[in-house]
Every structure is written in C-alpha cells, then in structure tokens.
Amino acid sequence: MVLADQIYTDAMTGKRVICGTFSHLGVEKIPGVFVRSTFAFILLSDIEGKFRLSLRFVHLKDNAVLLQSEPIEFTAMDRLGTTDLVIEVPPFPIVAEGYYSLECWVEEYLVGSVRLAVTDTTKRGKQS
C-alpha cells in the first residue's frame, strides 16, 4: 500500500502512475483535519473471490481508530495474479503530533498499512 497525491491510469499502457508519494503529514492546526486530496494504491495477491475492504486511520500512541471507511466490495479474479485498487482517502483527523497508521483490512484481516509521521508546521524554526 502506498499513499500519493495523485494516481491515474495511463491510457496507452493501462499502467498505474503514482505521483507524490508520502509518509509525513505537516499540519498547521492540531487538533485538526488533514484535508489535502489523498489516494491509496493497494496491490493484493494470493486472494480470490468477492471481498469487502475497509481503511482505518489509527493513532499509534493509543491505537485509537479515528476514522474507518465504509466497506468497499471488490472481486479478485485469480489467486495467482494481483488485484489493484485506487481509493480516494477521506480527510485524516489529527489529534496530536506523532505517529499514525492507515490500515487496509480485507474482511477481518489486516493486509497492509502505511505509517505516517505528523508534525506541527507552525513549530518550524522554534526548536533548537
């Protein structure tokens, strides 16, 4: 799983083009909401059939689930192949500086995550 500013499919090749990947969020107001448009690229393998996927945004300090997406139904056609999904992520609620995780769950199984460091950008230059 990768987070990016933009993900699109090349019309000629069908390949995914992933632009502006990141694992750090700089925010100006805490608590607050990170509202910049964000997309998750998820590549699944060793899975076949119909499934429900959900994303959870978790504050790692206390493992509090701050956001959970509505389930997304998808079908994986070939266990030996891969299934890729591009999902626009809702705005992230930020409760404090620190570490968060965007987790990808398929049914009741955690299948991937991205760890995000969150910092207050108004503190730049004020620390030694």
Q: How is residue 38 written in tokens?
A: 């964000």
- The string of pLDDT tens digits covering residues 10-32 is 999 999 999 999 999 988 888 98
Residue 25 tokens read as 């969020």
| pLDDT at residue 30, as a whole number | 87
- Cα separation, 91 vs 3, in Å, equals 13
Domains of the chain (ranges plus CATH)? 2-123 (2.60.40.1930)
Q: How confident is the model at residue 93, as a pLDDT?
A: 94
Note the pTM of the prediction, 2 decimals.
0.86
pLDDT of residue 127: 41
**Three-state secondary structure call for residue 121:** helix
Instruction: Check if the beta carbon of residue 115 is closer than 8 Å to that of residue 100.
Output: yes
Q: The tokens of 73 are what?
A: 């139904």
- Tens of pLDDT along 82-105? 888 999 998 999 999 999 999 999
CB–CB of 90/69 below 8 Å? yes
pLDDT one-digit tens code per residue, 51-88: 999 999 999 999 999 999 999 999 888 889 888 899 99
CA 77/CA 66 separation, integer angstroms: 32
In this structure, the strands spanning 24-27 and 109-120 are: parallel
The residue with greater pLDDT, 123 or 83, is: 83
In this prediction, residue 126 carries a pLDDT of 44
Q: Whats the size of the chain, residue-wise?
A: 128
